[in-house]
Chains A and B, each alone.
Chain A
């Protein structure tokens, strides 16, 4: 339900500097546009110098809804600095957001980073373009079709690889997924919605 205590909105929200203006050079989503909306160029996360140990801690935190993905694979870690970690929630009402913040806190504390604070930035809004190539591969191996751009045709069945697939429901078991079925192997599967 509405905001359990700690989930807070920064006001005004952080504005992150753009780092290179997007995933350059023909990544999986190069040049795509998301469903007619006004998604800004996609910034890469800010890595910070010498902060690899903190990144390693964050890579150990799974997404609560899709535990095969870490929150780094999902692309919601937008910046890591010596004293703060900036997260961007995936969906406005995603219940995982609060769980993620709690899990990140616990992981940082356990690794000795008690002084690193967690901040939330709403803008620029998260997009499925921020899922890393590793994350997309993990999704596919797990049986969830990674997001496909509009106009790229139907998603491939993650089980048999057929592109002969059909949408059953626009909304699936979590806010980030829709439900599809394969017309060749007849299995249903989840598609990570392009967002």
Chain B
């Protein structure tokens, strides 16, 4: 197994410990890292959601989840293709999606979590899409023209994702005894992964300062208002804050991500350059 990767950080960034070693390459390298975060979040959640295809509670839900997955994979295609161009080593979106190993992924922990039951999936979707919508609204002003253009396109789609998740959280929370219990459990399970979404580590701070990325911490109040209001409408409890789990942005992941990649990457790794 490869050793843990160095984190891609700008020169002069503060931090301590082996994983905060600064990488060579200046702003482009930071932009590459930033684009991986955006692209990997969308790619991994898109892959997760597609696991529901053929298994969802009803055909309408099946269609909805497949559509959301498709939107997310589309976002990932744009972000990762752009990441490949910025990196300048001849890798495209496919190469980045299918030929990186788990330690090189920069997605947050929330998106790699297993689907669990339908309520757990909807809890994850509400927390994530609520955040992604605010993020993309902020990225409309990104100095990187591709990031701004993808955000402009995708923010409309993410609005649908968030509405769908909110409707289900309310319906299940304010539903039967069992749906209510499952919905509360889903939120309790996913809540520990929320702080990572808003974590301003040195890379996030750098891209925000340079007008490329968003000030993530500044998104939290609006996110809290929206998510709390949905949870209240669902007559559920807002989960208590837990010790945050961080690390996805540095390539430290839960064991679930490797298993997801096994499925996602199997074909292109086994039959390199296969086309269809």
Chain A: residues with CB nearer than 8 A to chain B?
A: 1-4, 7-9, 11-13, 34-39, 89, 91-95, 122-126, 168-173, 175, 179, 195
Q: Is B149 an interface residue (CB 8 A)?
A: yes
Q: Is B70 an interface residue (CB 8 A)?
A: yes
Known: A171-B64, A171-B67. A3 touches B146 (CB 8 A): no
Q: Is B203 an interface residue (CB 8 A)?
A: no
User: What is the minimal beta-carbon distance from B170 to any residue of chain A, in angstroms?
Assistant: 14
Interface of A is mostly: loop
* Cβ contact within 8 Å between B156 and A9: no
Contact with B73, one of A1, A34, A123, A171 (Cβ below 8 angstroms): A1
Known: A93-B75, A170-B164, A171-B63. A123 touches B93 (CB 8 A): no
Chain B: residues with CB nearer than 8 A to chain A?
A: 43, 46, 60, 63-64, 66-68, 70-78, 80-82, 85, 92-94, 97-98, 137, 140, 145-146, 148-150, 152-157, 159-160, 163-164, 275
Known: A8-B81, A92-B157. A172 touches B146 (CB 8 A): no
Point out the residues of chain B lying under 8 angstroms from A12, CB to CB.
Answer: 145-146
A9→B150 CA distance, assembly (Å): 10
Q: A92-B150, A94-B70 are in contact. List 16 more A-B contacts (CB 8 A).
A: A2-B76, A2-B98, A3-B77, A11-B82, A13-B145, A13-B146, A13-B149, A37-B155, A92-B75, A92-B157, A93-B71, A123-B148, A125-B152, A171-B63, A171-B164, A175-B67
Point out the residues of chain A lying under 8 angstroms from B156, CB to CB.
Answer: 34-35, 37, 39, 125, 195
User: What is the minimal beta-carbon distance from A138 to any residue of chain B, in angstroms?
Assistant: 23
Contact with B93, one of A2, A13, A195 (Cβ below 8 angstroms): A2
A36→B163 CA distance, assembly (Å): 13
* Cβ contact within 8 Å between B60 and A9: no
Contact with B78, one of A9, A94, A124, A173 (Cβ below 8 angstroms): A9
* Cβ contact within 8 Å between B85 and A170: no
Point out the residues of chain B lying under 8 angstroms from A95, CB to CB.
Answer: 70
A95→B261 CA distance, assembly (Å): 22
Contact with B153, one of A1, A8, A122, A169 (Cβ below 8 angstroms): A122
Known: A92-B78, A170-B163. A122 touches B60 (CB 8 A): no
Point out the residues of chain B lying under 8 angstroms from A195, CB to CB.
Answer: 156
Residue of B with least CB distance to A94: B74
Known: A2-B94, A91-B74, A122-B78. A37 touches B153 (CB 8 A): no
* Cβ contact within 8 Å between A92 and B60: no
A91→B67 CA distance, assembly (Å): 11
Residue of B with least CB distance to A121: B149
A sample of 12 cross-chain residue pairs with beta-carbon separation below 8 angstroms, ordered by A number, consists of A2-B76, A2-B93, A2-B97, A3-B93, A9-B146, A37-B159, A91-B71, A92-B74, A92-B153, A94-B74, A171-B63, A175-B157
Point out the residues of chain B lying under 8 angstroms from A94, CB to CB.
Answer: 70, 74
User: What is the minimal beta-carbon distance from A35 to any residue of chain B, in angstroms?
Assistant: 7
A155→B92 CA distance, assembly (Å): 42
Residue of B with least CB distance to A1: B73
Point out the residues of chain B lying under 8 angstroms from A13, CB to CB.
Answer: 145-146, 149
Point out the residues of chain B lying under 8 angstroms from A7, CB to CB.
Answer: 77
